[in-house]
Amino acid sequence: MADARRHYLDLIRQDGVRLTPELAEAFGSVPRERFVPDGFHRRDGGWMTPDDRDFLTTVYRNDVLITKLNGDVPISSSSQPSLMAIMLSALDLRPGMRVLEIGAGTGYNAALMAALGATVTSVDVQADVAGRARAALDRAGVTGVRVVTGDGYPGDPGSTYHRIIVTVGIAGLSPHWFEQLTPDGLVIAPVEHAGHHPVLAVRPGDPVTAAVVCSSGFMAAAGPLGARHAGSHPRSAGVLPELAETAPARWSPPLDTTAYRDLWYAAGAWDRRATLATPANWDQAHLVLLHDPTPAPPTDSMTDTAAKPADDPVTSGAAVLPDGSVRAGGSEADRCTAALVTLIDRWSDLNRPSMRDWRVGLALDGDPAAPIWAPHTWHLVPGARH
Ligand SMILES: C[S@@+](CC[C@H](N)C(=O)[O-])C[C@H]1O[C@@H](n2cnc3c(N)ncnc32)[C@H](O)[C@@H]1O
């Protein structure tokens, strides 16, 4: 078992994550298997249980463990350990801090935070999930974690927290969280941007601003936290017609995953028609620009993409491959290609800014009865990374 845990830490580090001694101790000592006692969804489609021979080996991989499905859609999981490690590093926890977690899931992340010396309140909207997390924390002998059933939008009224960590993909932050944060508090949250949920580090203030921590893929939150809003990017490219090449390759070797994500992030900041989605008959999500009949927003360095989201059926669009070639389809294929190529040129001309070079301005948006602080403006600040 000691070997398995050591190997686990190596796997987390292989993803380029720096583990402080405290984080390594937490990941090395909290028994992840205790938080998935009913098993999880196997990559090959079946359900893995603790009786399976490779159960422990699989638990101690650097992989997400999906613990609840609704049909084919994952609705609860233990997140990928390297992503948890990055988010916990960004949370800058110190012993004695009070943390509010939105998305208790299995309870494993809350147990890691308790191992780091924090007192944790963890909220999950699904009563059965919250109940299982409570039982797992008890069985693992973890103290200092309270699990609450409910929607995370109101937070934990009447309490104050030094840190808030959100472990479910949200469209924006609840204003109630800022009322519950200490003045030097910090929120770490995966916030929807162009079809994905990059993790933001948000500090309270006027204006509310955020730094980008890393890319991530989280399941979307239920309720007002997941609401569509005026600045939302379009969500689906599944209805796009057959795409044909409209611009040749420009990069050899092709962009690696990190650079491709940086291009996607910039395109989403500059143009709300850009999103990450999987065109029909493709097997992977790509940066696509979907035709939107409403006029495109201006594209200056401080861009406000607030406008009506294009959720009408999409009939034209263009996608870029990692080698820079563009494939497009539909009656507006040429226009979509030109707009996408302009975004790619702009990112290249600026020497390929990283997603961590962006500062995000948030504004209240969404349902007026339950508003959220959603990304509205993006500003490049090279070198000022979180
Ligand atoms: C990826 S899991 C959380 C992983 C968890 N932190 C762990 O360590 O296992 C996301 C969880 O968020 C919960 N969730 C979804 N929408 C929510 C909401 N509006 N408020 C609170 N929890 C929510 C889901 O029920 C799910 O269990």
What proportion of the chain, given as a percentage, has pLDDT over 90? 78
Q: Is residue 174 part of a domain?
A: no
Q: Does 81 sit in the ligand 1 pocket, CB within 6 Å? A: no
| Nearest atom, ligand 1, residue 224 CA | 19
308 pLDDT above the threshold of 50: no
Same domain, 18 and 148: yes
Sequence length of the chain is 386
79, 82, 122, 232: which one is catalytic? 79
- What local confidence, expressed as pLDDT, does residue 301 receive? 35
Same domain, 149 and 249: no
Distances (CA, A) of 35 to 65, 111, 161, 185, 261: 10, 9, 25, 29, 32
Q: Does 74 sit in the ligand 1 pocket, CB within 6 Å? A: no
- Measured between its terminal Cα atoms, the distance across the chain in Å is 35
> How far is the centre of ligand 1, averaged over its atoms, from the C-alpha of 367 (Å)?
21
Q: Is residue 121 part of a domain?
A: yes
- What local confidence, expressed as pLDDT, does residue 1 receive? 63
Q: Is residue 379 part of a domain?
A: no
Q: What is the pLDDT of residues 131-150, one digit of tens each?
A: 999 999 999 999 999 999 99
Q: Is residue 296 part of a domain?
A: yes
| Nearest atom, ligand 1, residue 223 CA | 19
Q: Is residue 367 part of a domain?
A: no
Q: Is residue 157 part of a domain?
A: yes
Q: Does 30 sit in the ligand 1 pocket, CB within 6 Å? A: no
Same domain, 132 and 34: yes
State mean pLDDT over 193-201: 95
- What local confidence, expressed as pLDDT, does residue 292 receive? 75
In DSSP notation, 341-372 reads: HHHHHHHHHTT---GGGEEEEEEEES-TTS-E
- What local confidence, expressed as pLDDT, does residue 190 receive? 98
In total, how many domains does the chain have? 2
Q: Does 174 sit in the ligand 1 pocket, CB within 6 Å? A: no
State mean pLDDT over 171-188: 96
29 pLDDT above the threshold of 50: yes
- What local confidence, expressed as pLDDT, does residue 72 receive? 87
79 in catalytic set: yes
What proportion of the chain, given as a percentage, has pLDDT over 70? 91
220 pLDDT above the threshold of 50: yes
What is the distance between the alpha carbons of residues 53 and 59, in angstroms, rounded to a whole number?
12
Same domain, 253 and 142: no
> How far is the centre of ligand 1, averaged over its atoms, from the C-alpha of 375 (Å)?
21
Of 131-145, 180-194, 259-273, 371-385, give the lowest mean pLDDT range: 371-385
Buried-state track 241-271, b at ≥16 Cβ within 10 A, e below 16: bebeebbeebeeeebeeeebbbbbbbbbbbb
> How far is the centre of ligand 1, averaged over its atoms, from the C-alpha of 168 (Å)?
5
The sheet carrying 303-304 orders its strands as 145-149, 119-124, 98-102, 161-166, 181-190, 199-203, 209-214, 358-365, 372-380, 303-304
Highest mean pLDDT among 110-119, 295-304, 314-323, 362-371: 110-119
116 pLDDT above the threshold of 90: yes
Same domain, 13 and 161: yes
293 pLDDT above the threshold of 70: no
- What local confidence, expressed as pLDDT, does residue 45 receive? 84
Amino acid (1-letter code) at residue 41: H
Q: Is residue 172 part of a domain?
A: no
CATH number at residue 95: 3.40.50.150
Same domain, 265 and 119: no
Of 15-24, 117-126, 218-227, 308-317, give the lowest mean pLDDT range: 308-317
> How far is the centre of ligand 1, averaged over its atoms, from the C-alpha of 211 (Å)?
23
Same domain, 249 and 150: no
pTM of the predicted model, to two decimals? 0.93
Distance of CA 100 to the CA centre of its chain: 18
What is the distance between the alpha carbons of residues 85 and 91, in angstroms, rounded to a whole number?
10
User: Which domain covers residue 342, as residue numbers?
Assistant: 244-349
> How far is the centre of ligand 1, averaged over its atoms, from the C-alpha of 174 (Å)?
15
Q: Is residue 223 part of a domain?
A: no
| Nearest atom, ligand 1, residue 219 CA | 1
What is the distance between the alpha carbons of residues 189 and 205, in angstroms, rounded to a whole number?
16
Ligand 1: which of 38, 120, 125 to mutate, judged by most atoms within 8 Å of the beta carbon? 125
Q: What is the pLDDT of residues 120-129, one digit of tens each?
A: 999 999 999 9
State mean pLDDT over 191-202: 96
315 pLDDT above the threshold of 60: yes
Same domain, 163 and 248: no
Same domain, 15 and 153: yes
Q: Does 224 sit in the ligand 1 pocket, CB within 6 Å? A: no
Same domain, 155 and 31: yes
3 pLDDT above the threshold of 60: yes
Same domain, 108 and 255: no
Same domain, 161 and 249: no
310 pLDDT above the threshold of 80: no
- What local confidence, expressed as pLDDT, does residue 278 receive? 85
Mean pLDDT of the chain: 91
State mean pLDDT over 354-380: 95
98 pLDDT above the threshold of 80: yes
Beta bridge partners of 170: 191
Q: Does 105 sit in the ligand 1 pocket, CB within 6 Å? A: yes
**Higher local confidence (pLDDT), 309 or 8:** 8
Q: Does 149 sit in the ligand 1 pocket, CB within 6 Å? A: no
